Structure 1
């Protein structure tokens, strides 16, 4: 696999490698009982590999972006297990890898690597069988300190997409993966938590997130006004071992009133355990649901 070394020092796989031609994925009819993942595994066990692929492909495309790392990695692994890794890499995936290369080339600080990470996540969604996108995503994730996720993506690459690499290169990549795992195990780096916030109130409610041992990326606390009956998905990136807490704020129209109330739900429970989550990979595997209820 062709790689380019940019001025930043990170090695990026060439986005212009021509893909292998082949059939494109399709979505077919599937059984209706259970979650898509459960139905897919039942279909695979029954020998219906194409049906299993259709289910996990649809589930992957329907995930919000970003999604909890455990969910997305699980679906991407299933796509590679039941799909055809010789499928043509889509033009959208190639385009986003190329954009990531530009972001890294022009990066003056960590923000440039975050931009590359977002582009590469889009690339692996569009074509999970792209070796270039998967490899590059692992490198970009390590650059922003998401060591656990970087190691998981490198493992995915090594397990499914590294056929063209030589033995010496594979040993070096395994070493890089083990290094990231070691950094994570020592409590280094960051974790991304993905929240699903629901407003069950009849009025707009403000909500703010904060990492109490520091500041949430991109360097400041984050707040939104959520309209009645609405829901949204928001990611927070936190330092390993810290706690991310949220507080609801009284609003009038779309303006905030009064002081911020950390660790206080809108229902008035001042010691609400649901108002804080430890920044651990265990909490990054699924959506953390926050339901704002009013008196």
Structure 2
């Protein structure tokens, strides 16, 4: 086998190994959100470990009153993610970290380990 061929195989093996290591650090989690408030609610999910927001790009998840939504996220294994929700048109009425991840909360964060959160019920 030529030296060039061995180098190519070595580079390919390294790329495959690095790809599988990177993939092992990725995870998916699904936030299960229910809006029990009588008004529509807007929602964002915020990473506490990096500068990332879901859905991002100045968008929000929108839940009508009574609506339940499954929100799947691709996240980093072990990443802490908190939800912030508020009544549409009334950012003073909020849950979790609220708009722009500006508030602290005791029970609105989850660790990305795969699977689903329990149903998170946004009530009055």
Whether TM-score is above 0.5 comes out as yes
Structure 1 stretches of 4+ with a deviation exceeding 3 A read: 216-222, 257-265
CA RMSD of aligned residues (A): 3.5
Tell me the CA shift for residue 214 of structure 1: 2.8
Alignment of 1:7-156 (within 5 A): none
Q: Which deviations, in whole Å up to 9, do the C-alpha atoms of 1:108-157 show, x marking residues without a partner?
A: xxxxxxxxxxxxxxxxxxxxxxxxxxxxxxxxxxxxxxxxxxxxxxxxxx
Please say if 1:258 is aligned against 2:91: yes
Tell me the CA shift for residue 240 of structure 1: 2.3
Q: Distance in 2 between matches of 1:198 and 1:211?
A: 20
Tell me the CA shift for residue 221 of structure 1: 7.1
Please say if 1:231 is aligned against 2:68: yes
Tell me the CA shift for residue 239 of structure 1: 1.9
Q: When the two structures are superposed, what TM-score results if normalisation uses the length of structure 2?
A: 0.62
Q: Distance in 2 between matches of 1:188 and 1:264?
A: 29
- Runs of 5+ in structure 1 lacking a partner? 1-175
Higher relative contact order at CA 8 Å, sep ≥6: structure 1 or structure 2? 2
Report the equivalent of 1:289.
Answer: 119
With over 3 angstroms needed to count, the CA separation of the structure-2 counterparts of 1:246 and 1:191, relative to structure 1, is same
Q: Distance in 2 between matches of 1:238 and 1:218?
A: 12
Higher strand share: 2
Higher helix share: 1
Higher gyration radius (CA): 1
